[in-house]
Amino acid sequence: SACFPRHRPGDHSNRPREGEGKGIKIFSRERRRRLICEPSQQQPPAREAAMAEIDLVNRDPNGINGSIQVKFEDVLAEPDGAHSMDCVWSNSYKCYTCGLSLSYKIATLLCGIFIALHWGCTFGCLAFNQIWYVTPNCKLFEIQMSCFKRFFTTMMECCLGPCCATCGMFFSNVTVTNNSASLLPFVRKGRRLKQWRCSVLHKAIFYSQALRRNSGSAHLSSARVEAGSGLAAMEPRRQLAQFALERGIRFRVRGSILAQEDTQKAMAAELDMVNRDPNGINQGLQVKFEDVLAEPDGAHSMDCVWSNSYKCYTCGLSLSYKIATLFCGIFIALHWGCTFGCVAFNEIWYMTPNCKLFELQMRCIKRFVTVMLECCFGPCCAACGMFFSNITVTNKSG
């Protein structure tokens, strides 16, 4: 049935109204009929879109509250020989389930949303402190301790290294013999690998010399290397860089490392606004809703409470973190930039030369200590090593 009756003779109700065609928007009968009769294609409401972001069935996807088992069979159980009446047991199950569900839902209805908002703001402030204060301090501590590590390593190598090398003379007379025929292919393979590396190095040197001779030409027709990597269609410098990178060779051409081109491209890349932790320095900081709040099976609040708690937590977390970074983030970033700039200056221009100077000075001490230990304790350790002189290890796996 049509929403508007058909036009009948003598009916002047459908004549053009006054003002039609004079800039006044007046819908025709067919247009009005479609607007009223046909259902409008409405977009999904915002509530359904918000509900799609959170799972209302599995409310503990990460299992953070998996140990909380409060179902009836996890609390009350009757072993064999001690069974109550069936009606008592079934009614007890109903009462327990009803009491558990009712008390939990009332508690979450009255307090759940506010508690979720509180935890959202708390974890937002915690994330701000962790990202903008704790992590840079840890990085600063690592940089400062790296110099101490170099000093300590040098001291250990100079003092304990000769002692350990001298004590190793206890086992200087132990003989290990390999008589296995199955090891021969590996030896041959190692020789072939060494020969291949030498040939590749010679090719690279020849190619670099040809590049120097033909630096003005666009293509090197006389210095092509048959490396199977499509080098002929590339420009000379990029051709040599590709050849070196494919074979893991780092050699210098005109005083510059060939990998410098890729480094410059990486430095020229723009700031990634999506992945803001490419190195994973704050990967352990998980503050999402499902990482903090979770309801195991048997203890579910009402759907509206759970979804609104998710919204409040997410809103509180995002709002508190964004407000903190809005007022303090830029100044903290400037502070850490200046701090790490000064630290880099101190490490490069003061600590590293001092470490190198210390290593050179300790190298002389190491030589004296090594000579003294080899002269005094070396013969003793070698004599004591005669205990193991008759030990022979032979592999005869065929």
pLDDT tens-digit map of 223-252:
444 444 444 444 555 555 555 555 554 444
Predicted pLDDT of residue 156: 85
| Helices and strands (H, E) in the chain, number of each type | 12, 4
Segment 316-336, tens digit of pLDDT: 999 999 999 999 999 999 999
Alpha-carbon gap, residue 240 to 247, rounded angstroms: 11
Residue 141 to residues 107, 146, 178, 323, 361: CA-CA distances in angstroms? 46, 9, 49, 28, 27
Predicted pLDDT of residue 211: 54
Look-up: residue for tokens 């390593």?
A: 153
Predicted pLDDT of residue 300: 84
Segment 8-50, tens digit of pLDDT: 555 555 554 544 444 444 555 566 555 555 544 444 454 455 5
Alpha-carbon gap, residue 260 to 263, rounded angstroms: 5
Predicted pLDDT of residue 183: 47
Segment 150-173, tens digit of pLDDT: 888 888 888 888 888 777 777 777
Share of the chain above pLDDT 90, in %: 13
Residue 324 in contact with residue 122, Cβ under 8 Å?
no
pLDDT < 50 regions, the chain? 1-4, 16, 18-25, 39-44, 46-47, 182-184, 186-187, 189, 215-234, 249-258, 267-268
Q: Whose CA is closest to 156, among 383, 369, 389?
A: 369
Look-up: residue for tokens 């803001």?
A: 276
For helices 303-346 and 135-167, what crossing angle results, to 10°?
Answer: 60
Give one word for 43, left, alpha or beta, with left for phi > 0 and alpha for psi -120 to 50.
beta
Alpha-carbon gap, residue 165 to 366, rounded angstroms: 12
Predicted pLDDT of residue 230: 44
- Residue 395: its H or E element: strand 392-395
DSSP state letter for 374: H
DSSP state letter for 370: H
- What is the DSSP pairing of strand 256-257 with strand 252-253? antiparallel
